[in-house]
Chain A
Amino acid sequence: MLHDLLIALTMLTNFTLVATHRVQKSIQVAAFQGVLLGFLPLSMGLWRHTHVLLLAAATILVKGWLIPFLLRRAMRQVQIHREVNPYISYTLSLMLCALGTGISLVLAHNLPLKPGDAHGLFVPAALSTLFTGFLLLVSRRKALTQVVGYLVLENGIYLFGMLLVEQMPLLVETGILLDLFVGIFVMGIVINHIRAAFDSTDTLRMAELKD
């Protein structure tokens, strides 16, 4: 029961993410979503697996503290606090997010999954988080909010991976986590350099870089 509650909360955070203007808040909400997902394997009653415990701890640590820390630092350096003028307005984003969640629910019931995995909210939540991440990536202009979108996208994949958490080796999960951390670490540095070079982190300006 507890895990259903956590998943429902995750889906609600998706809506908060697409509707928020302030960068500070979207980092906070993304971190909150990460922590929720970190507690998820524990709420599923998987205490006896050491590797699941380790994984949960690592997820909470990296997604709840390390990544938000890096993002906030990048935010301070580039002095961006608001996502102004996105490609898709906030109202429309909210509607698209709702539509995506609806489609995920329909899809999850019709996908050819294993009988044991079909029940519950896992698959629709994973898909809707995936769509939300994509929506953020596609609709936002600032590099920093795009990184948040990437983080949310990865959360969706992580949620899908929960279906297999008992079988999945620790190495794979930690590999994904490390990947995410390094990706965001590098992006933080790159964003700063982009601002130094172009005096803007608007990704549209970077279209000049195409060959």
Chain B
Amino acid sequence: MPSTDLLLVLAAAGCWIIAAGAGALARTSERTFLGLGLAAALLAAGGAAHALWTGHLSGLAFRFWGLTAWAEMDSLSALFLVPLQVLGALGLVYGSAYWPLPVGKGRGVPLRCCYALLVAGLTLVFVLRQGLLFLVAWELMAVSAFFLISTEHDKPEAAKAGWVYLAATHVGTAALVAMAILLARRVGGPLWVPAQGPASGLDLAILALAVVGFGFKAGLLPLHFWLPAAHAGAPSHVSALLSGVMLKAGIYGILRVSSLLPPVPHAGALLLALGAFTALYGAAYALAQADYKRLMAYSSIENLGIIAMGIGLGMAGRAVGDPALAALGFAGALFHMLNHAAFKGLLFLGSGALLHATGTRRIDELGGLAKLMPRTALAMLPGVLTVSALPPFAAFASEWFLYRGLFAGLLRGNPWSASLALPALALTGGLAAVAFGKFYGAVFLGEARGPAGAGAHDPPTPMTWPLAILGVLCLALGLAAVPLLPLLERALSPLLPGTPIPLSTLLSGDLRLFLVLQLLLIAAGVPLVAWVRRGFAEKTSVPPTWDCGYAAPTARMQYTGGSFADLWSALLPGIRARVRTPRALFPPPTGFHPTQRDPLGLDALEPRLAQLADRLLRFRRLQQGNLSVYLLYVLIALLGVFLWMLVRAWMRG
């Protein structure tokens, strides 16, 4: 029975809501809550995986408040549901040790309640296909995320991040409401079914509103300002879920809406350029961050930009009727979405372990943690290598899809956008590698730069296991690209209905070659590492770092994160380094102080908003404080309405 899959997913959403209700009671034990959440995740992941495996489409029509409603799970929804449930379950296990109930001023109870609500909302977002219900699920997700972000609301930074997020998400929702209304007019009903007829101006308006509304969630460029502070301020398992899945809800929305409309010319190329700009910007400013959670948040912007590039390429391919281009673009976006959920989940959970152990988010206070936290260091290595898009890890494979698609686009479809995007993608990969090289090198290698990391130790088992699982996934997704191809083809079928998807024929040759090379690399690398380590083990003692001839080595001799990044990021706008160059024979002590400011971020936005608020103050004159005047406004409005009706009646004859 095909609709069993959907029923499983809906039951899982219900189970998450029950878990939220149970979690809201302080007397519910950690174990009960965990059990409910894991059961829900298992149900939904099972349903979605089955739907993805068989390619069945399961739908359910029902009535809700007198309106017809439609829930449907196709393989596209299923592809988004699987990482959601996996990351949701891992975050749940991780959170039970990261933020146990007794600590944190009793915030554990609302935290776990909102966490379950967020997962429930996201689950529903991916299956509901009716404008109104979709928006309700969307708001459930958005509002529970607000409470999660402002968990530590006694810190002014986290409280502000929460409010900025709330304002941003609601502006996005306003655009989505308009989009849903126009879409209902376009398809002739509230249900989200494919629109008939050729593309028109209305389609362009719907798509533009969708990109704005969903772009707020996905952090596409000028709309990303809420993202870094929100991800840095939230508890780490929440950041993992926000970055790994909630941002993808924006991507899902853009994909879903564009799949309902006929192809709009030029929209794909514009989205491709926007994605390229976002990716480059995110990577460049990730490099400049001094706070490792903010660094990861900027890296999320970068990766969402890469995904948007894929979607843009796919839409461009769809518009020119080139199935190969469309398949490469959309498949690259979807595969990268999957990979980003794995590696950014890993990185945020790992940074939670760092925060848990050291209590600081500043890279320049840490150092040498690989000795104190060897398991965390080992588990985060695959994440760092994946985000840098290095083989044999997962992001290399997904970016390969995009490179292939962009080269194909260069030859056929959109030369200007593809020629813009290709160097942007390459530069993005390089900058991301430098940014995470800075992070990993400064935090785990070298010597401690401050007292913060002195008592650091590996986190307890419930926090280590999720890291290990995600680390293995990062490698496995990279190696299993060939068997994943049919799954991706199935997930693409709702986006490219009625056209054959030539993904296997296009890519299986490349990917097989890569697989062989990667296996050879691993086969050669593992003995090499073992041999090198054996050499170390033969020595009787391990000397401290830099014991080779320095009389008094100190941790201040090493590069800091800031000075390392300055080599690459000095030219970016908003980045300054204050250096006093030593002069004269006996120079006084000098220093290097990098500061960074996001030129499109909140720091730049706030003065302008304050200015606007000042201008709007002149409307205060309308508020006289006199009841008669207010009633006069009502009377004028009433007369205006009557007048309008008269004029309308007169115009209609």
Contact = CB atoms under 8 A, between A and B. Distances in A.
A46 to B, nearest CB: 29
Interface in B627-650: 627-628, 631-632, 634-635, 638, 642, 645-646, 649-650
Nearest to B631: A137
A137 B625 contact: no
B6 to A, nearest CB: 41
A112 B645 contact: yes
Contacts of B642: 107, 111
Where chain B touches its partner, the secondary structure class is helix
A131 B636 CA distance: 11
A141 B627 CA distance: 10
A138 interface: yes
Contacts of A107: 642, 646
Q: Which of A106, A107, A206 has the most CB of B within 10 A?
A: A107
Where chain A touches its partner, the secondary structure class is helix
Those 3 A-B pairs whose CB atoms lie nearest each other, nearest first: A210-B625, A207-B625, A134-B635
Given A107-B642, A210-B623, A137 B628 contact: yes
A138 B625 contact: no
B625 A111 contact: no
A209 B625 contact: yes
8 contacts: A106-B646, A107-B646, A112-B649, A138-B628, A138-B635, A203-B628, A207-B626, A210-B623
B652 to A, nearest CB: 9
B624 interface: yes
Contacts of A209: 625
B408 to A, nearest CB: 58
A146 interface: yes
Interface in B69-116: none
A208 interface: yes
A138 B623 contact: no
Given A112-B645, A134-B631, A203-B628, 9 more contacts: A87-B628, A106-B646, A107-B642, A110-B646, A110-B649, A111-B645, A130-B638, A137-B627, A138-B631
A204 interface: yes
A134 B628 CA distance: 9
A166 to B, nearest CB: 25
Contacts of B649: 110-112
Contacts of B638: 130, 134
Given A110-B646, A112-B645, A112-B649, A134 B634 contact: yes
Interface string A22-62: 00000000000000000000000000000000000000000
A139 interface: yes
B635 A208 contact: no
Contact of A146 (B624, B627, B634): B627
Contact of A206 (B625, B635, B646): B625
B624 A138 contact: no
Q: How large is the interface on B (under 10, 10 to 19, 20 to 34, 35 or more residues)?
A: 10 to 19
Interface string B559-578: 00000000000000000000
B634 A207 contact: no
Contacts of B650: 110
A116 B631 CA distance: 32
Interface string A85-118: 0010000000000000000001100111000000
B627 A203 contact: yes
Contacts of A210: 623-625
Contacts of B628: 87, 137-141, 146, 203
Nearest to B634: A134
Nearest to B647: A110
B282 to A, nearest CB: 42
A140 B631 CA distance: 11
A130 B635 CA distance: 10
Contacts of B626: 203-204, 206-207
A87 B632 CA distance: 12
A193 B442 CA distance: 70
Contacts of A203: 626-628
A87 B627 CA distance: 13
A66 B625 CA distance: 31
Interface string B147-178: 00000000000000000000000000000000
Contacts of B625: 206-210
A15 B642 CA distance: 22
Contacts of A131: 635
Interface in A140-198: 140-141, 146
B642 to A, nearest CB: 6
B619 to A, nearest CB: 14
Nearest to A131: B635
A106 B650 CA distance: 12
B308 to A, nearest CB: 44
B236 to A, nearest CB: 41
